Structure 1
Amino acid sequence: MFPPAAEPVASLILSLITLSSLVRASEAAGSVFVYAGCSPSKFQPNSPYQSNLNSLFTSIAFSASRSAYSSYTTGAGDSTIYGLYQCRNDMSSADCSACVQSAVGQLSLVCAESYAASLQLDSCYVRYSNDNFLGRPDTSLEYTKCSASTTDDAEFFRRRDDVLGGLQAGTGFRVSGSGTVEGQALCLGDLSAADCTACLAEALAKLKNACGPAVAADVYLAQCYARYWASGYYLHDSKEHSEDDVGRTVAIAVGALAGFSLVVVILSFLIKACKLTTGGGDHVGAWTKIIC
């Protein structure tokens, strides 16, 4: 036990460790922000819905160290929440856990008090809602990214189509390659094999239609994603669609909100740890002093 005078300082240190651990978890897992979506409707702070959401996040964070996918239903009545997380199947359990913890932390900041939200990192995905979406086919478009570099090489297109065909025909986390073209795809774990194949067929059609001659492209639907790239190519210099503008804005917001949260934590504990004294009356020489 800490002495009473030391408790606020100790709590501050623990909070700072928690925040820094979130940053380290993201770095360790190689988690790159892709996109986030938040419902405009908000729940009240300290409501039963918030309590259920906290329970959902706790369950997700705990389960991610043991499984690459899991879904949950928490609460009852109007406060019921449905949620899931998904990691790439080629990730270690430690990296999956770190990625999901990072996603949950960012989701809490980016979509604070939203009734429904989702957040995609490069290696994992987290979603929750007050509407039951679990196991229901959904091929709505969430995000598309096409490289600025293009080609008119017929051999490249032949290789790309071979890769995309391999992605649609595979199972689980799908990886495909042909010549200098590589690709990968993944469906949510609650989809049947038939629904996964149908989702990927839709994703690949949207990818080819949106990105045309691009040498690298990503497309994310609500329940699956697919991507391809020329070997050695990285998407960092890609020309972004309008969806990417939203993604970049959200990524900036994550950093800003994280910094703001850190300031709030520090001020909160300083206020608890310190005594505020005023003096000098109501004239210009009045003063305010914080005594710790």
Structure 2
Amino acid sequence: MDSTSAVFLCFATLFISSVISISDHSLLVYKNCANRTFTTTAPTLTSLFQELTAHSNQSKFFKHTESTDDDEISGVYQCRGDITNQECHSCVNTLPDISKTMCRESVAARVQLHGCYMRYKLEGVDSDYSGKKRLLHKSCGEGGGSINGGVGGFEEMRSAAFGVLESGVVSGEGFCKTRYELIDVMAQCEGGLGGCECGECVSSAVQVAEEECGGSLSGEIYLAECFLSFAYHPDDESHSDEEQRDKKGSDGKKLAIVVGGAAALFFGFIFLLFLKSWGKKDEY
């Protein structure tokens, strides 16, 4: 599949209702907290949080650095490409409290929710999420596929879906969400990551998914600068067949109504002609 087709699939899917509800955007996926903490209170961190959340109703990606004579803290947030700015703001707005609760006064942290993430670090601190392709979190669903003899051709279908995904993020400004046959796939790179670099990051995530998740029917892979998710929906095939049968049945009924109506009009017309002709005979 060429890149143009892949991009069309990705953006066409943005008009389809999201599987994840709005309320689920703020569900925690994972968190990484540095062991080292601030020796004193961190007003600079509070200012950073305020600056980041203030921009979240205008943009889905934003970087900022807060500096004082003693500290310099850099931070970034990003929202998923398929949610609105309002949903983005709602999601990001929950991140500071979650970070403070779970990571306390860590000098570096990353909190990932379903709809957004935020990370920050104190200047000079080595964080656990350094390295663009570093694996931060993975989640593999129930087994299946050809490895376990569950779903014939599943891995081939998933590989093809991943191929569409890799093409889509390169030409689709770092975000792609689409369906290939019975598999939903989604990927996103951190804002500012170039097309080729984004494609390489997603390719690395694909490799991790194939190696770590094996024949799992669903999974999520989070690297430092990109993530991907996939989910197999076998029930949709039967639903699709039912819809086709319903559609054919409906079309058949419509055709019968049209044909029946046309026949009634035809015979009615003949009957009127007969009456008219009979009336003329009576005049003579």
Aligned-pair CA distance for 1:190: 2.7
Q: 1:27 to 1:104 in 2, by over 3 A?
A: farther
1:142 equivalenced with 2:146 (yes/no): no
- In 1, the alpha carbon distance for the partners of 2:46 and 2:83 equals 25
Which residue of structure 2 lines up, in the alignment, with residue 42 of structure 1?
37
RMSD: 2.3
Q: Does the C-alpha gap of structure 1 residues 78 and 196 become closer, same or farther in structure 2, counting only changes over 3 Å?
A: farther
**Which 4+ residue blocks in structure 1 deviate beyond 3 angstroms?**
26-30
Give unmatched runs, 5+ long, in structure 1. Answer: 1-25, 234-292
In 2, distance between residues paired with 1:185 and 1:45? Answer: 39
Q: Which amino acid aligns with 1:164?
A: F
Q: Cα distance 1:229–1:96, how it changes in 2: closer, same or farther (>3 A)?
A: same
- For 2:54, the equivalent position in structure 1 comes to 62
Alignment partners' CA distance in 2, 1:205 and 1:151: 17
Secondary structure in structure 1 of the residue aligned to 2:206: helix
- 1:158 CA displacement: 1.8
Which deviates more, 53-62 or 37-46?
Answer: 37-46
The Cα offsets for residues 225-261 of structure 1, whole Å up to 9 and x where unpaired, read as 011111278xxxxxxxxxxxxxxxxxxxxxxxxxxxx
| Aligned twin of 1:167 | 165
Map 1:231-270 → 2, pairs under 5 A: 231=233
SS at 1:84 equivalent: strand
Question: 1:221 & 1:77 partners in 2: Cα distance?
Answer: 33
| Residues 28 and 95, structure 1, Cα contact 8 Å, conserved in 2 | no
Partner residue, 1:210: 212
Unpaired runs of 5+ residues, structure 2, are: 1-20, 236-284
Determine which structure has more spread, i.e. the larger CA radius of gyration. Answer: 2
Select between 211-220 and 175-184 the one with higher mean Cα deviation. 175-184
How many Å apart are 1:176 and its aligned residue?
Answer: 2.6
Alignment of 1:1-292 (within 5 A): 28=23, 30-46=25-41, 50-76=42-68, 78-131=70-123, 138-152=132-146, 153-170=151-168, 171=172, 172-231=174-233
**Distance (whole Å) between structure 2 residues aligned to residue 146 and residue 158 of structure 1:** 18
TM-score normalized by structure 1?
A: 0.65
Check the 8 A contact 2:57/2:89 in 1, yes or no.
Answer: yes
Instruction: Give me the whole-angstrom Cα distance separating, in 1, the residues matched to 2:223 and 2:212.
Output: 13
Contact 1:42 1:115 in 2 (8 A): yes
Please state whether the residue corresponding to 2:156 is helix, strand or coil. Answer: helix
Report sequence identity in percent.
Answer: 28
Give the residue type in structure 1 aligned to 2:202: L
Q: Which amino acid aligns with 1:229?
A: A
Q: Take 1:97 and 1:142, find their aligned partners in 2: how far apart are those partners?
A: 24
TM-score of the superposition, structure 2-length normalised?
0.67
**How many pairs does the alignment contain?**
204
Equivalent position amino acid for 1:59 in 2: E
Please report how far the alpha carbon of residue 137 of structure 1 lies from its aligned counterpart in structure 2 after TM superposition.
Answer: 5.4
Q: Separation in 2 of the partners of 1:100 and 1:232?
A: 34
Q: CA deviation at 1:159?
A: 1.5
